[in-house]
Amino acid sequence: MRSMSSKVVMAGAALALVAGLAAGAHAQGDGQGKRGRFGGPGRGFPGFAALDLSEAQRGQVRDVMQRHRGEMQEAGKRLHEAHSAQRAAVETVPVNEGLVRSTSQALANAQTDMALLQARVHSEVWTLLTPEQQQKAKELKAKRETRMKERQQRRSGR
């Protein structure tokens, strides 16, 4: 059960990351010093500003995000509803194994749909980057993962 919850959290985090990508592109794209979602230019997606996108790339990223906005919202809604239904099924007394199984399967399907959508959006945005920007993005991701592991180690050491 715990792995299901962590999958939902990861799917939600990935959705937030993709939404942040759009916010970062939007914040970078105004060219007038407006502040991004978290206070600075391009701060909606950590590291996105460091990729130094051209004006054309920022427009293309905004277009990709705009094209998929409705799909992302709908997939997020389905994921939330499936998680809520599964949670309610788990809490049902007495245990209804068939209900737990069916809601767990529906949750897995919603997670799969979200993952596929995120993969398509990521792929579309990735192809807009130059090889240098792709390399920089990989380096930034590796640094974020290292920091995350260090934080997890500190937490588990408490």
pLDDT digits (tens, 9 = 90+) for 42-78: 333 556 788 999 999 999 999 999 999 999 999 999 9
Question: 17 in a domain, yes or no?
Answer: yes
* Residue 108 belongs to domain spanning: 2-130
Question: 122 in a domain, yes or no?
Answer: yes
Question: 143 in a domain, yes or no?
Answer: no
Question: 149 in a domain, yes or no?
Answer: no
Token readout for 10 is: 């990861």
Question: 147 in a domain, yes or no?
Answer: no
| Total number of domains constituting the chain | 1
pLDDT digits (tens, 9 = 90+) for 62-119: 999 999 999 999 999 999 999 999 999 999 999 999 999 999 999 999 999 999 999 9
Question: 49 in a domain, yes or no?
Answer: yes
Question: 107 in a domain, yes or no?
Answer: yes
State the average pLDDT over residues 26-31. 40
Question: 87 in a domain, yes or no?
Answer: yes
Radius of gyration of the chain (CA): 19
